[in-house]
Amino acid sequence: MSGNMFMHAECRRSVGETVRLLKASLSEKNIPLFAEFDHKLNAEGVGMDMPGATVLVFGNPAVGTRLMLKAPSLARQEAWSSLTLCEPEEKEIEE
Q: What is the pLDDT along the chain (95 residues), one digit of tens a residue?
A: 445 566 777 778 888 999 999 999 999 999 999 999 999 999 999 999 999 999 999 988 888 888 888 888 877 766 678 888 888 766 555 55
Q: Is 68 exposed, middle or buried (0-12, 13-18, 19+ CB in 10 A)?
A: middle
Tell me if the pTM is above 0.85. Answer: no
Cα angle 9-34-84, degrees, rounded to a multiple of 5? 20
Contact, 65 vs 34, CB < 8 A? no
For residue 88, which of 21, 14, 6 has the smallest C-alpha distance? 14
Would you say how long the chain is, in residues?
95
At 2 the pLDDT is: 47
